[in-house]
Amino acid sequence: KKYHRKQWYQRRVRAEMTQFHEDMFSLIEKFLDIEANVVALTEDRALNSGIKEFRKKLSELPEELFKLELAVNSLHEELEEEMEGVSSSRRNVSSCDKIWHLAMNLNPADGHYMDYLTGWHTGSAIGSEENALAMDYLDRLVWKEPVDYLAIVRHQHGIVDAVKVFQFKYWGLSMKDRFSDMNPGRVIASEGGPIQVSVDTNAPNLEDDPIFSVDGDLALNWWGNYRASRIMITGGFTEGDLLTYHGLGNHMNCACQSGSNRDSNYRFEVSNIQKCPYSSCSKPVVQGTDFASTSYFKAGPVYGNYALFVSLRADKFPEPGTELERLMEIC
């Protein structure tokens, strides 16, 4: 386990450094344009000299970054050698490849709106690693990795009380890929329902939970008219009642296929299964306080945080009662 964690963090460092490398060269190119424009604008020797000195320092950064990359690669080689020295039985444990990574966490009462248009299709980082399981969170690196399994985990302060695991119908796509498919969207992303359903016998609020009170397959980017949910379970809606399109990451007045906003007052994070036809139900009940306007929604109790864990190979998630971490191993 120790070795796999080291490998995971090394992969993250490498990915971050690669991105930083690209950003840095782009920055240097932009600064060269700025320098040329300043030279054309003024003959102030002091200013031009200062710009040239700054450009010189900027041009030295790629070499320093290269040295850092060599050091990271050296650490990787040392880790491989260390693993070679581990006994066969220990090595089998450390080579576990059934790993779950926290991709997103939704807290419907933290003051941040994780609605249909926030984060899902852009993959922008949200929140911090320190509060990853307590506040809204999106890991931008995990969001870009290809995954074949999704675990939707409801938890109470980091302790699992309910989990559903789905195997994606289409393999090898990242979460960013899957949530960028908004036009036409309306993706049934699994077949045959969840491959695991585990619910604590004492778990509360199961009668109208958007994930755990209904059966069916995983539906992504589901919309009708101007209303949409990023994640739903197919048993939780009917075609004739648009306001029952409730799940995780919701909006009731967006240009859903293009991923743009029509009216920001209609954003909300987590809803419940409810019969709320447009003609007779003006204020659907949503979990917590993460909704844009009291004119359109009613605050309801928070049933828990909803964490999205993803994996390339793991097809079973730890049972209720387990304490969550950002990286969960199943070996």
Least confident span in 155-159, 273-277, 314-318: 273-277
Span of 128-137, 262-271, 274-283 with lowest mean pLDDT:
274-283
| Spatial separation of the C-alpha atoms in residues 219 and 221, rounded to whole Å | 7
Least confident of 65-74, 104-113, 164-173: 65-74
Nearest Cα residue to 138 out of 162, 111, 164, 114: 114
Chain segment 276-307, per-residue pLDDT in tens = 766 667 788 889 998 888 777 888 999 999 99
More confident residue, 118 or 93: 118
| Confidence at residue 150, expressed as pLDDT on a 0 to 100 scale | 98
Residue 116 has pLDDT above 50, yes or no: yes
Q: Provide, rounded to the nearest whole percent, the portion of the chain with pLDDT above 90.
A: 46
pLDDT at 328 over 50: yes
Burial pattern 145-175, b for ≥16 Cβ within 10 A else e, equals bebbbbbbbbbeeeebbbbbbbbbeeeebbb
pLDDT exceeds 60 at position 155: yes
Share of residues in the chain with pLDDT > 70 (%): 76
Residue 83 confidence (pLDDT) above 60: no
| Segment 11-33 mean pLDDT | 70
Do 293 and 329 meet the contact criterion of CB atoms below 8 Å apart?
no
Nearest alpha carbon to residue 303 among 235, 226, 218, 246: 246
At CB < 8 A and 24+ separation, what contacts does 74-82 make?
Answer: 75/10, 76/10, 79/3, 79/6, 79/7, 79/10, 82/3
More confident residue, 197 or 73: 197
Predicted pLDDT at 91: 41
**pLDDT (tens digit per residue) in 85-107:** 544 444 444 456 689 999 999 99
Helix axes 2-41, 45-84, angle to 10 degrees: 170
Q: What is the pLDDT of residue 16?
A: 72
Four-CA torsion 288, 293, 295, 301, nearest 10 degrees: 0
Per-residue pLDDT, 92: 45
Given pLDDT bands bounded at 50, 70 and 90, which one contains residue 271?
confident
Over the chain, what is the mean pLDDT? 83
pLDDT at 111 over 80: yes
Name which of 243, 245, 235 is nearest 277 in CA terms.
243
Band (76; pLDDT cuts 50, 70, 90): low
Residue 18 or 291, more confident: 291
What pLDDT is stored for residue 231 in this prediction? 96
In this prediction, residue 90 carries a pLDDT of 43
pLDDT at 195 over 50: yes
